[in-house]
């Protein structure tokens, strides 16, 4: 059987009826306690009140612990976005530094190629400048091999 969406007025009416039932239940328990209190002696009443007080005190302590734990969790979650933003910023700075280092290394390699006329340059010149061509993975391997050959020939 499929559930249909209840109209808001019906939901509000049910919630209102539920709150009335809760209020009647509290009133009923209050009247029931009054009736039992009338039949108890003063010592019994005092003992019952102390027991109730102790129970309520324990409940308050438990609720206070839960509240403190929840506040700690809220503070922890509040700090998480700041930590993530800081981490993201550091990662962006590191990536930028690596890109700059890569560009400088490419320029150095190209200068080394220009200084050794007996080796052809691995870059295709298209007239747009030295950084217009980013080497692919095979070209990077070729460049590393060429640098090693160059280093060996200089020894």
∠ CA 61-64-67 to the nearest 5 degrees? 155
Would residue 10 count as lying in a domain? no
Go through 66-101 and write b for each residue having 16 or more CB atoms within 10 A of its CB, e for each that does not: eeeeeeeeeeeeeeeeeeeeeeeeeeeeeeeeeeee
- The Cα–Cα gap between 29 and 86 comes to 56
Would residue 7 count as lying in a domain? no
What's the pLDDT score for residue 97? 94
Residue 139 has which token pair?
């070209």
Q: Give the number of domains in the chain.
A: 1
What's the pLDDT score for residue 2? 44
Would residue 140 count as lying in a domain? yes
* Arithmetic mean of pLDDT over the chain: 77
Residue 24 has which token pair?
């009647």
Domain residues for the domain of 99 are 41-153
- Predicted TM-score (pTM) of the model is 0.36
- The Cα–Cα gap between 32 and 48 comes to 14
> With a cut of 50, which residues of the chain have pLDDT below it?
1-3, 124, 127-129
Would residue 74 count as lying in a domain? yes
| CA distance between the termini of the chain | 87
What's the pLDDT score for residue 117? 66
Would residue 14 count as lying in a domain? no
Would residue 28 count as lying in a domain? no
Would residue 23 count as lying in a domain? no
What's the pLDDT score for residue 59? 92
Would residue 19 count as lying in a domain? no
What's the pLDDT score for residue 94? 95
What's the pLDDT score for residue 92? 96
């Amino acid at each position: 059987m499929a559930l249909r969406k209840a109209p808001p007025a019906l939901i509000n009416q049910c919630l209102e009826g539920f709150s009335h039932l809760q209020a009647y239940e509290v009133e009923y328990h209050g009247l029931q306690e009054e009736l039992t209190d009338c039949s108890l002696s003063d010592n019994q009443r005092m003992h019952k009140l102390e027991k109730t007080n102790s129970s309520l005190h324990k409940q308050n302590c438990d609720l206070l612990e839960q509240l403190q734990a929840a506040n700690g969790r809220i503070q922890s979650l509040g700090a998480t976005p700041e930590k993530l933003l800081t981490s993201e910023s550091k990662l962006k700075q590191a990536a930028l530094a690596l890109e700059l280092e890569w560009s400088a290394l490419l320029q150095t390699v190209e200068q080394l190629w220009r200084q050794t006329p007996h080796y052809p340059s691995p870059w295709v010149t298209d007239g747009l400048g030295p950084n217009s061509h980013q080497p692919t993975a095979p070209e990077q391997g070729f460049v590393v091999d060429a640098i090693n050959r160059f280093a060996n020939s200089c020894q």
